Every structure is written in C-alpha cells, then in structure tokens.
Amino acid sequence: MSDLPEKTTFLSRVGHNFLTGLFLVMPLGLTFYVVTILVGLIGAPVQGILQAVLPLVFNNPDKVIHFESGPLHTALVITSALIMAMILVTLGWLSKRIFGKIIHRWFAEKVERMPGLGAIYNTIRQMVDALSGRNKDTFRRVVLVQFPPTAGFILQVPEKEIRETSLTVPDAITLLMSFGSVLPTPKVKK
C-alpha cells in the first residue's frame, strides 16, 4: 500500500517520487561534489610542483609535462586524494590536542555568531556530535511514535489549538534539521 492519499494526480505522484529520489541521492552527490572540489584545490598546487620537479628528476629540465589525461592525470588525482586524506587526518589529530581545541572553539564561536550560517553550522555540528557518539545522551534506545507519513501533508489547525513555545527560530531550525535528535540548549537567565 502506498503512503499517498488515494486522490492524487499523476503529476503529484511524479513530484513526490522525484523529491524522494532527490533526498535519497543528495547526501552522496554532495559528498562527491565536496571531495571533487577538495581534490581540485589540492591538485592544482601538486600539479605545479610535479611539473617543476619531474623534469629535474629525469635530467631533462627543458621537457614540459602535461597532466590533462592519461596515466599522469590519474597519478595526479590519486596523489591529490592522498594528500587531502593526510591533511584531514592531521586536522583531526590536531583538533584533539589543546591547541587544536582552542582554535576550533574560536572558529566555532565566530561562525555561530553569523546570522543564518550560525544556525546551520550549529545544527550540523550537533548532528555530527550526536552521530559520532560524542554525545552520550543521544541514541540510547529506539522508540516508535505513530505519526503521519513523511510523504508530505498539510495540517490545518484551529488557532485556539496553537501553543506558543519559547524556542527561538534558530533553535527550531536546529530541531527540525536534526530530525529531533538535537534538542535546543536551555537558556540560563542572567
């Protein structure tokens, strides 16, 4: 049985299936896009270094080496990916040390103060913390909650049934983007 209401048009089903497929592929696509950009950023300096060093290694300083295609291009991409991995491992190692924690905290404070970007950064950081096991209060048990399907629906509620919350807009965005796994931090009155 389908989660969709029975009176749907063909176009609404196509649109629903398109969005479902898009959300299924988006994390993989974004990951591929980010890795491609990082490899490209690292590949340009590596290519320059290799173009300067390789002719000297082979005792032919006048030879120009091209990396556009072929085995040299493949070697360049692999070298760039390995350098990128080494940089990420080094950043991870440094971030666990005192100096790295200070820099990371300083950077996080600066980004969190930016309107819009701060809420997104904070949500992603909290989700990574929750999913990586740093936050021991998250994912302790599995529960089931009866709720309408995630296929999308419109809910019309009488105004008298609406309840105000103390959530700020960034806290609400954090709660929604983390699918409820990251709760807003309680505000301390000063």
- As a whole number, mean pLDDT of residues 152-166 equals 75
In tens, the pLDDT along 14-66 reads 877 777 777 667 767 777 788 788 777 877 787 777 777 777 777 766 666 66
- As a whole number, mean pLDDT of residues 109-122 equals 79
Supply the pLDDT for residue 32.
79
Cα gap 93→104, rounded to integer Å: 12
Cα gap 169→147, rounded to integer Å: 23
Q: Is the pLDDT assigned to residue 1 strictly greater than 50?
A: no
The predicted model scores a pTM of 0.41
Residues 6 or more apart whose Cβ sits within 8 Å of residue 87: 42
Return the half-sphere exposure (C-beta side, CA atoms, 13 A cut-off) of residue 42. 18
In tens, the pLDDT along 172-189 reads 777 777 777 667 766 655
Supply the pLDDT for residue 19.
73
Q: Is the pLDDT assigned to residue 170 strictly greater than 60?
A: yes
Number of Cβ within 10 Å of residue 108's Cβ equals 14
In tens, the pLDDT along 68-101 reads 777 777 777 788 888 888 887 887 787 777 777 7
Residue with the larger pLDDT of the pair 152 and 90: 90
Supply the pLDDT for residue 29.
77
Please classify residue 76 by burial: count the beta carbons closer than 10 Å to its beta carbon, then call 0-12 exposed, 13-18 middle and 19+ buried: buried
